[in-house]
Amino acid sequence: MKFAAVLVGVALAAAGIAAQAKDDPAIAKVRSAYQTAAGSQDGAAIAKLYTADGVEMPPNAPAAKGRAAIEAFHKAFAQQWMMHGMTITPTETKVTGDTAYDVGTYKQSLMAQKTGTMVEDKGKYIVLLKKDAGGAWLISHAIYNSDNPPPPAAPVKK
């Protein structure tokens, strides 16, 4: 009898974990809009997906705080890199009231504007979201980083 109770407990716990990992359609809509805007390098469209005081924390750069800074970051990025495709894949999404988190992986193909060098990047992300007064989900914080090793250090000039 104790074994059956433990088995039921494990099954319920596993069901809870599976429910946490299930995607949420409203969060998926924000994720899809981000992927589309990033793929077309539309900094203004990306910034609109954030709360007014939202924070984007890209790799190898300071955090961009607020929509204007987020838009400026993406416009500057587009001057250095041309996007040739992006895929965002969620692995865990959880909604609790008016807040949510979305965790997953990304892949992107980038071409250096100056040299034409292609870079295949892949990595992971965590996004925190909040509902606004109208009930729409907006990103409050996003952090992502590459699984690729950092580029080689520049030679030291003597």
Cβ of 136: how many Cβ atoms within 10 Å? 13
Q: What is the mean pLDDT of the chain?
A: 87
Structure tokens given for 89: 């894949």
Structure tokens given for 36: 């589309």
pLDDT at residue 37 tops 80: yes
> pLDDT digits over 61-73, tens only?
999 999 999 999 9
pLDDT at residue 17 tops 80: no
* Whole-number Å distance between alpha carbons of 102 and 99: 10
Task: Identify which has the larger pLDDT, 158 or 126.
Answer: 126
pLDDT at residue 2 tops 60: no
**CA distances (Å), 74 to each of 10, 60, 145, in order?**
45, 14, 15
> Which 3-state string (H, E, C) describes 18-76?
HHHHCCCHHHHHHHHHHHHHHHCCCHHHHHHCEEEEEEEECCCCCCEECHHHHHHHHHH
Domains of the chain: 22-146 (3.10.450.50)
Are 108 and 86 spatial neighbours (Cβ–Cβ below 8 Å)? yes
Instruction: Place 11 in a pLDDT band, splitting at 50, 70 and 90.
Output: very low
